[in-house]
Chain A
Amino acid sequence: MSTESARAVRGGQGKPLLSIRDFKVEYRTGSGATVQAVRGVDLDLYPGESLALVGESGCGKTTFGLGLLRLLPRLGHATGKVTFNRGDGAEIDVLGLDGKDLRAFRWRDAAMVFQGAMNAFNPLLKIRGHMHDTMRAHTKASKQEIEDRAGELLRLVRLEPARVMDSYPHELSGGMRQRVLIAMSLLLEPEVLILDEPTTALDILTQRSVVDVLHEVRERLGFSMIFISHDLALAAELADRVATMYAGRIIETGGVRDLFYRPRHPYTLGLIKAVPPIVGELPDMESIPGGPPSLAALPPGCKFNPRCRYATEECKEADPPLFPVTDEAGNDHAAACIHWKDVHLDRQVPKEDLGTAAS
């Protein structure tokens, strides 16, 4: 188990836990055609870091998460280079894994918490059965060891093991199921946890309890997390770093404060302006016109240009790469927009100090 503090190492320092280069996912559709759902993602995840992946539905967030764990449906095909630097020094080529090695990678090295906790369980198995199945499939732990480990994790997510272990999934509330799922995903002490919309469809107070549990277990266990969500507020709450996805690419990435207070891509800016905060007066709100493009018919140049109010003729010529938008040392804020200098969030920012390093 990685027991170092949850403090993230950022801006290219240290060795990334997960290094993703030119990652692409293609889906075969009928009549031999293909669509690219993820179109070349470069991303590093550092030990202890929490990275949020935000964007509208249909921009490739979930496909990206599934691709990383090699969980794509048969018609999906991932290419590129995904290197996992395990805590023990081993370097694993994730896309090249097969059979036994792949099974070992999944759950023990990297686990996923799915959206919709009910569908992630076998309705005929009690929680105890799920725990034992998972442990037996991956380890040689004895019954007692499994009971102890499961109990420990359930308590960590603030559940009563005696009650929960003997329950069927349907006997638990939505928030409890989601917390059981988080506990299960941590059974084998993975170094990376991928969470796909873990609190969508939960009530406000239930969502809060799941969010608090996530904060707590991350503090205690120090795993890294890739957190997929369309909810910007959740990203602000849980992430150290945020990456905005649009039409299968990352179009802006940076520290959470940089991205929320100094967004430099019109799409990120648009998303921020579309979400009303709760506290305080009503700020100016704006929506992003139109919807995400169909992956089968992407516009030329920057994929966001048809919806962008900063767009010029030049934007239709080439899809811009990620430009670094700051020369601050150790800050990796980058945006894929040729007009990034003109993009500003004109809202009061609480503090001027926007350094990416967590304070």
Chain B
Amino acid sequence: MTTTETVPAATAEGRKPLMTLEGVTQKFDTKAGPITAVDEVNLSINPGEVLCLVGESGSGKTTAARMAAGLARPSGGHVTYDGKDIWSLNRRDFKTFRRGVQYVHQDPYASLNPTRTILQTITAPLVKHGVVKGKRAAVQKAAELLTEVDLTPPENYLEKYPHQLSGGQRQRVAVARALTLDPKIIIADESTSMLDVSIRISVLEMLGRLRDDLNVGFLFITHDLAIAKYFGWHGKTAVMYLGRIVEFGPTPQIINSPTHPYTRALIDAIPEPDPDLTKTKGARGLRSMEIPSLAHLPSGCTFHPRCPLFEEGLCDGVVPELAEVRPGQSTACHVVARDGVEALQRDEPVA
């Protein structure tokens, strides 16, 4: 079931990717029996590039991200950093990996220590990893980092506590803390979903600047396809459903011409901030709204009980593999693999 070749392991220039997830699987034992939260996921992340991981809750996005960050050990497959499996690294190399990959959590109200000032929060990793020597240098560096995330002038923020800041400001502090160790990759797990719409774009703009100026790579996890579209327009997007990647490709193609029935259902379902456009939206043709339980996954393609293209015998037999259906865009669907992307047009409602 290794499908490394379907998700290009290296970029166009043939460089080795900085980080890869190869056939990564995570199984959890629960009261309801063992469940596979992430199943055979292949991904690669490079500096300066954005990889969006989208999906509904329970699709395994966060579990995949935790494994990429080395916060959870996969039950199968390999996570590599700089070409080496992170779980076979020696102490020193593991520390390099930890410094190189930083995590920005969803909830800036929970991820910042309420009893520490912003200065203490930001200087802690600087001191711990010996990046700076002496208090003055630490303050200096903290001020630079706050400027980097648009918290200016930094003197206004250094002595404040998290409760004195707004949600957007807190999330900026969380990003500044992630930047303390010059990371190569930032894993942003729903980092803007708690923020008000009005400030979401400015936080994303700031992240985009870090990507371009500091050449930071992003694993950007979100349930909001509009946000993935905005932040990942020049990158790639992987759509997850019940632990597996069902579609992968350049973001504009995923959004504007999805080739998996699930991706298309998602995009059709999202209301648009435009009264005329949104009238064209609807839950088109889905056979069921219920998401199957991870403990009792349907046989074959796990989307088959809901899929409008379902064909008995074909879809409920074996799990479909990702296969390229357009240049750079691959889809795990038996029907599309057989009939081509035109299959998706078949269930178009008669206007």
A277 touches B269 (CB 8 A): no
Stretch at the interface among B5-13, B98-106, B132-140, B219-227: B219-227
Nearest CB of chain B from residue A124's CB, rounded to whole Å: 22
The answer to the question of A83 belonging to the interface, with a C-beta cut-off of 8 Å to chain B, is no
**Chain A window 274-305, contacts with chain B (Cβ cutoff 8 Å), 1 for yes, 0 for no:** 11111110100111110100000000000000
A288 touches B198 (CB 8 A): yes
* A-facing residues in B128-149 (Cβ within 8 Å): none
Q: Contact partner of B271 among A56, A211, A280, A350, CB < 8 A?
A: A211
**Bound Cα distance A237, B56 (Å):** 21
**Chain A residues whose C-beta falls within 8 Å of the C-beta of B256 in the assembled complex:** 279-280
A277 touches B277 (CB 8 A): yes
The answer to the question of B66 belonging to the interface, with a C-beta cut-off of 8 Å to chain A, is no
The answer to the question of B328 belonging to the interface, with a C-beta cut-off of 8 Å to chain A, is no
Q: Contact partner of B205 among A260, A272, A287, CB < 8 A?
A: A287
The answer to the question of A57 belonging to the interface, with a C-beta cut-off of 8 Å to chain B, is yes
The answer to the question of A2 belonging to the interface, with a C-beta cut-off of 8 Å to chain B, is no
Q: Contact partner of A230 among B57, B197, B271, CB < 8 A?
A: B197
Q: With A212-B282, A287-B199 in contact, is A233–B273 under 8 Å at CB?
A: yes
Nearest CB of chain B from residue A259's CB, rounded to whole Å: 9
**Bound Cα distance A256, B57 (Å):** 31
Stretch at the interface among A74-82, A88-96, A200-208: A200-208
The answer to the question of B16 belonging to the interface, with a C-beta cut-off of 8 Å to chain A, is no
**Bound Cα distance A277, B256 (Å):** 11
**Bound Cα distance A88, B281 (Å):** 37
B269 touches A275 (CB 8 A): no
**Chain B residues whose C-beta falls within 8 Å of the C-beta of A350 in the assembled complex:** 274, 276-277
The answer to the question of B229 belonging to the interface, with a C-beta cut-off of 8 Å to chain A, is yes
**Bound Cα distance A282, B230 (Å):** 7
**Chain A residues whose C-beta falls within 8 Å of the C-beta of B229 in the assembled complex:** 276, 278, 282
A287 touches B200 (CB 8 A): yes
**Bound Cα distance A57, B196 (Å):** 7
**Chain B residues whose C-beta falls within 8 Å of the C-beta of A57 in the assembled complex:** 196
A274 touches B197 (CB 8 A): yes
How many A residues touch the partner, as a band? 35 or more
**Chain B residues whose C-beta falls within 8 Å of the C-beta of A260 in the assembled complex:** 273-275
**Chain A residues whose C-beta falls within 8 Å of the C-beta of B278 in the assembled complex:** 233, 236-237
B277 touches A208 (CB 8 A): no
Residue of B nearest to A158 (CB): B289
**Chain B residues whose C-beta falls within 8 Å of the C-beta of A204 in the assembled complex:** 56, 223, 225, 266, 269-270
The answer to the question of A175 belonging to the interface, with a C-beta cut-off of 8 Å to chain B, is yes
B198 touches A271 (CB 8 A): yes
Q: Contact partner of A286 among B196, B201, B276, B289, CB < 8 A?
A: B201
The answer to the question of A139 belonging to the interface, with a C-beta cut-off of 8 Å to chain B, is no
**Chain B residues whose C-beta falls within 8 Å of the C-beta of A231 in the assembled complex:** 197, 271
B269 touches A207 (CB 8 A): yes
**Chain B window 253-275, contacts with chain A (Cβ cutoff 8 Å), 1 for yes, 0 for no:** 00110000000011101111111
Q: Contact partner of B272 among A211, A236, A271, CB < 8 A?
A: A236
A279 touches B277 (CB 8 A): yes
The answer to the question of A51 belonging to the interface, with a C-beta cut-off of 8 Å to chain B, is no
Q: With A204-B269, A230-B196 in contact, is A278–B201 under 8 Å at CB?
A: no
**Chain A residues whose C-beta falls within 8 Å of the C-beta of B227 in the assembled complex:** 276
The answer to the question of A257 belonging to the interface, with a C-beta cut-off of 8 Å to chain B, is yes
The answer to the question of B290 belonging to the interface, with a C-beta cut-off of 8 Å to chain A, is yes
**Chain A residues whose C-beta falls within 8 Å of the C-beta of B166 in the assembled complex:** 291
**Bound Cα distance A316, B273 (Å):** 31
B272 touches A209 (CB 8 A): no
Q: Contact partner of A236 among B198, B233, B275, CB < 8 A?
A: B275
Nearest CB of chain B from residue A232's CB, rounded to whole Å: 4
**Bound Cα distance A176, B273 (Å):** 25
The answer to the question of B202 belonging to the interface, with a C-beta cut-off of 8 Å to chain A, is yes
**Bound Cα distance A212, B281 (Å):** 10
Residue of A nearest to B289 (CB): A209
Nearest CB of chain B from residue A154's CB, rounded to whole Å: 15
**Bound Cα distance A271, B265 (Å):** 27
The answer to the question of A324 belonging to the interface, with a C-beta cut-off of 8 Å to chain B, is no
**Chain A residues whose C-beta falls within 8 Å of the C-beta of B202 in the assembled complex:** 287, 289
Q: With A56-B198, A285-B201, A285-B230 in contact, is A232–B56 under 8 Å at CB?
A: no
A56 touches B266 (CB 8 A): no
**Chain A residues whose C-beta falls within 8 Å of the C-beta of B270 in the assembled complex:** 204, 208, 233, 278
Nearest CB of chain A from residue B133's CB, rounded to whole Å: 37
The answer to the question of A234 belonging to the interface, with a C-beta cut-off of 8 Å to chain B, is yes
**Bound Cα distance A129, B245 (Å):** 42
Nearest CB of chain B from residue A201's CB, rounded to whole Å: 9
B289 touches A272 (CB 8 A): no
Residue of B nearest to A267 (CB): B198
**Bound Cα distance A209, B271 (Å):** 12
**Bound Cα distance A274, B195 (Å):** 12
**Chain B residues whose C-beta falls within 8 Å of the C-beta of A277 in the assembled complex:** 226, 272-274, 277
**Chain B residues whose C-beta falls within 8 Å of the C-beta of A212 in the assembled complex:** 282-283
**Chain A residues whose C-beta falls within 8 Å of the C-beta of B275 in the assembled complex:** 236-237, 256-257, 260-261
Nearest CB of chain B from residue A67's CB, rounded to whole Å: 22
Candidate in B199, B205, B233, B274 with the most chain A CB atoms within 10 angstroms: B274
**Bound Cα distance A351, B201 (Å):** 27
The answer to the question of A321 belonging to the interface, with a C-beta cut-off of 8 Å to chain B, is no
Residue of A nearest to B265 (CB): A205
* B-facing residues in A315-359 (Cβ within 8 Å): 350-351
**Chain B residues whose C-beta falls within 8 Å of the C-beta of A278 in the assembled complex:** 225-226, 229, 255, 267, 270, 272
Candidate in A276, A289, A350 with the most chain B CB atoms within 10 angstroms: A276
Q: With A277-B272, A279-B272 in contact, is A205–B200 under 8 Å at CB?
A: no
A232 touches B273 (CB 8 A): yes
Candidate in A230, A270, A275, A288 with the most chain B CB atoms within 10 angstroms: A275
* 25 residue pairs from A and B, CB less than 8 Å apart: A173-B290, A203-B56, A204-B56, A205-B265, A209-B289, A232-B197, A233-B226, A233-B271, A233-B272, A233-B278, A236-B277, A237-B278, A271-B198, A274-B198, A276-B226, A276-B227, A277-B272, A278-B270, A279-B277, A282-B233, A288-B199, A291-B168, A291-B196, A350-B274, A350-B276
Q: A208-B282, A212-B283 are in contact. List 13 more A-B contacts (CB 8 A).
A: A175-B289, A203-B57, A203-B291, A231-B271, A233-B273, A233-B274, A233-B278, A236-B274, A260-B273, A270-B198, A276-B226, A288-B198, A291-B199
List the 5 closest A-B pairs by CB distance, nearest first: A208-B269, A287-B202, A287-B201, A237-B271, A233-B271
